[in-house]
Structure 1
Amino acid sequence: MIVITTARPDEFAAAADVLAEAFVDDPVARGIVPFEADRRRRLAHLFTAVLRSGPGPRGVIDLARREGDERIVGVAAWEAPGSRRGALGRELAQLPLFLKAFGPAGLPRAMMMEHRLQRHRPTVPHWYLADIGVSVSARGLGVGSALLRARLDAVDQAGLPAYLESSTPENRRLYARFGFGELASIAGIPGASPVAMLRSSPPDPGGLG
């Protein structure tokens, strides 16, 4: 059984390690952090900064564990409607970690690619799945589905849509089972072709698996 809890600040570093492991070979992550030798270490810095600054006071970071095991095996970071208010100040506070992730020369490139991703977000209030990842040891156990199901139930109760970007066909198939539909391909990410996906509210019951 997979148990879902909300992350505490003292769990952010461990959660970032899980995301770094999950994204080390992800096409978008490779485009944003194009350092082969130490990409996982840099991604750990990046996700620590993102978890500290990104979701904001109204967002949420969900953690997945196997029942009876304290080790984190999955992470989903969600931004609630309005979470971006005050984001710049939170991100500036994490600038040292962003620099460790990208290097001084790579920071402008990363900011440009992040802008290309963000400009596809809906203009209406919505929940945004910023990041979701599962540790290698727990893949195939339904961890990603458990994380999605737990938060989407709350999103449905609020009567709001949900949005994400997906970088692989395999992940898009999973999201489609939860009612996400493809909106558009996102250009400008080296070596990657992420797709913007939206889940309407209420979702079409025929799209749920």
Structure 2
Amino acid sequence: MGVAIRTAGEADRDLVVRLLDGAFQDDPVSGWVFPGVEDRRAKHPGLMAAFTDIVLAAGRVDVTEDGSACALWLSVPAEDGHDGEDEGPAQVRQAVDPDNERIELIGRLTAAVHPSGRAHEYLWMIGVAPDRQGEGLGTALIGSVLERCDREGLPAYLEASSTRSRKLYERLGFALAGPVLELPDGPAMWPMWREPRAHRTA
């Protein structure tokens, strides 16, 4: 009945990139970053690879044991101020598609609305294979980290990229964390925050 979850390593990189690419090809935000279908098919995997490499190096990637879903998490320290000097978005743009300013822009816009001042777990991305969506795999992946957050008294944060995902996160205890991020001439993203719940001990 439970979903077996393990921590991914470098050997899982290609699997994680494939999962994210498949899960986000038709996502509204990915469609904004790469408006042309053929361009998106060609360059979207490279963006997912860049994100995967960042989190494999600095965070944690969880995957279901059967390789059908993954979640990318970063532990954000309390002193993270998001001062706008981060060169990460520009480096990702340069590596993936130097002519596409939206790759850099979305990194800067999400960084600008990211809460600072309190340590928290940041769910950067979660991807479920298209033919396995709706089975509760994403909920299981998120829930395993939220249980730890509750034990350790840590909040969690994410940006929902669709109304469907926003409703899922609301069921898991996330609430809107400030103004909706409206991408220029594009879709909305919802910054969402979850306070830790009181941990019950048996």
Does the alignment reach a TM-score above 0.5? yes
Change (3 A) 1:203 1:48: farther
Partner of 1:19: 20
1:168-198 CA distance string (max 9 Å, x none): 1111111011100012200234421111110
Any stretches of 5+ residues in structure 1 without a counterpart? 67-71
Does the CA contact (< 8 Å) of 1:185 and 1:195 recur in 2? yes
5 Å matches for 1:20-99? Answer: 20-54=21-55, 56-57=57-58, 59-66=59-66, 72-82=67-77, 98-99=93-94
Q: Residue 130 in 1 paired to residue 105 in 2?
A: no
Q: Which runs of 5+ in 2 are unaligned?
A: none
Indicate which of 102, 106, 109 corresponds to 1:116: 109
TM-score between the two structures when normalised by the length of structure 2 = 0.83
Q: Distance in 2 between matches of 1:23 and 1:204?
A: 34
Q: What letter matches 1:138 in structure 2?
A: R
* Aligned counterpart for 2:171 among listed residues 167, 172, 177: 177
Q: Secondary structure at the match of 1:5?
A: strand
Going from structure 1 to structure 2, the CA distance change for 1:109 and 1:168 (only over 3 Å counts) comes to: closer
Using the size of structure 1 for normalisation, the TM-score is 0.81
Deviations 1:35-66 (A, max 9, x none): 31142442221111111113643x21110144
3-state DSSP of counterpart to 1:104 = coil
Quick one: which amino acid aligns to residue 60 of structure 1? R
Task: Flag as ranges the 4+ runs of structure 1 deviating above 6 A.
Answer: none
Tell me by how many angstroms 1:203 deviates: 6.8
| Inter-partner Cα distance in structure 2 for 1:155 and 1:189 | 34
For this pair of structures, how many residues does the alignment match? Answer: 192
Q: Percent identity?
A: 28
Mapped to 2, the partners of 1:136 and 1:198 lie a distance apart of 26
The 3 A distance-change label for structure 1 pair 98 and 104 is closer
What residue number does 2:156 align with?
Answer: 162
RMSD, matched Cα: 2.7
